[in-house]
Structure 1
Amino acid sequence: MKILYGIQGTGNGHTTRARVMAKALAEKGVDVDYVFSGREPEQYFDMERFGNYRTFQGLTFVHQHGKVNYFQTVKKASLWQLWRDIKSLDVSQYDLILNDFEPVTAWAARLAGKKVINISHQAVFTNHKVPSKGLSWLNRQILKYFAPAELSLGVHWFHYGETIIPPFIEREIAIANSSEDILVYMPFEDVSDIIDLLNSQHNHRFVVYHPDVKENSETMGIALRTPCRKGFLQELERCSGVIANAGFELSSEALCVGKKLLLKPLDGQFEQASNAETLSQLGLATVMNGLDEAELERWLELPENEAINYPSDPAPLVEWLIAGDYSHPEALCQKLWKPISLPQFSATVGDSKVKPIELT
């Protein structure tokens, strides 16, 4: 079986999920070519698992000072280049196209009449009844046409009684020497704004990873770190809490290791607003709408979360993909959720309480 796997490169969440999938696909002997778009080629890091991957410009949102800048997003979008990349990508040799919200591979496959299976967090907002916030008509159209697919599997923290699969979490070996440090990852905020927020808390040490940090340094209880996947995962294992934007993958990783979460969603980005709303409803995170010192101080006094044993091995999903019968994903969802011990929370969508999925 030969697969083309398209991954959205904006941020690190999609790449993190793809690393877990790439390992499982390799272990099953599947031949996979990887395509990334949405980021400058030199900005990717720790990409060894993807072999000789390809990159395209794709489409991405421009953000400034923790907000989506829609004017700059439209201005910098090169639709002509996108169309040229789509037309140039030959997908004829592939048996299956996997997609994680990546437009070049999705549209190239559609033009060629190839089947696309979308495995992404974005899919939960188009095909399932889950909590959402700020999901406008325009957002729905973007979700529908950005990376079209014949079959979509949404990835989420809770199944909501729908055909949704759980996140797969790649963990470092547990570190015995835990610390009281706070891990900070807010790539959509300016580093100076993050430092201003943290400077008010002199009794705590913060470890800040940020793509704009070019050299490791430390001053006044704030350690600045350059992007490094291995170092980041080690800090995640040992820290006492995580401050982040409301991306999906990092929140998933923090929940898996039982770390309390303080989230500041990217302003103007409905997905992050919806993520923050969901985790707040489930009692799994605290949300601040701005870089709020008072909210930070209150959150620092909270205890850690109960860890959720999300799976680390997507082998059942890979086996399902290899088998080739995609007509009824319900059995796959049941198999993936059954061993997960979820906290006792009341899940609702709108005014309706969610019925649990039947796990047999």
Structure 2
Amino acid sequence: MPARVSLRTDFTAEDLRKLAAKSSDANQSRRLLSLAAVRDGMRRGDAARIGGMDRQTLRDWVHRFNAEGPDGLVDRKSPGPRRRLSAEQLDELERIVEAGPDFEKDGVVRWRRVDLQRVIKERFDVDYHVRHVGQILHDLGFSHVSTRPQHPEQDADVIEAFKKTSPRKVEETLKDVAPGTPVEIWFQDEMRLGQKNSRVRQWARKGTRPRQPADLRYQNAYLFGAICPARGTGAAIMMPTADTEAMQAHLDEIAMAVAPGAHAVILMDQAGWHITGALTLPENLSLLFLPPKSPELNPVENIWQYLRQTWLANRVFDTYDAILDAGCQAWNNLIALPDVITSIGTRGWAKVGQ
């Protein structure tokens, strides 16, 4: 039999019972009561039963109490198994994932868990199950998401420079506008909507892959849309083609939507029907062109995504009129949600210079 462990003497039985009464931890309380019984001279086996444990377990708690006092009687979370990758190795893995694969070297265009399983084995000589690789990625702050398109010739420096200088560019655009005129910032773009419609992700049972109709016909129309995030409003028209005539009609529509007495600066890309000199610009509008190959500067691109994912995708349009009706209804649904327009369309860099 192991020798009896003496209980530290700086707590009386009464002290231990008072601590048990005040504790909000039921397990700590019952252990304190067992130790109070030991302090009173009760046999160790009987004292252990008061706390719902056996004598050996009581002995272990006596050791903890002697070393740490009442705090030592609180349950502690197990730290779990030690990670087989060090902090430095995890940092390196994070950089590898962030940088993405090199096709010539790695043979893939995107990292899959099985690819990273191989990389971890080759770099760090550690074997993980592919599911564990997914957990590591989650712990490092990564998630499996869809990518956004990017033009291969896009210049990130040009985009950042435009954001920084946009207030000054807006002021330059307004140089012929009377001082004190209220100014609105608008964004404009076009979206093709047709029978070859898009499909979007949806919730479904694990292990299944839902089917959605996919029309192969080619009739389509163009939704010309513009938003003013500050006012939570917009203006749009549906047209059979995207050309100068359609753009003129849209500018006239926007001009009627601008607040009375205000002047609107419309930011848009440099499509041919935007920059042509054949356009007649309404007096209450000015145009400011975004840098080429930078659609992410235009929040109307996000508006199109919202319209498709909410009201337009996964549908079949049997006639041209059905396409027009769907586009008009989707836009009218959006206009009824001014907070959504403001939330999606607001860009901190798009403002009138100070």
Determine if the TM-score, normalized by the shorter chain, exceeds 0.5: no
Specify the TM-score bucket, using the shorter chain as the normaliser: under 0.3
Please identify the structure whose Cα radius of gyration is greater. Answer: 2
Flag the structure with higher helix content.
2
Flag the structure with higher strand content.
1
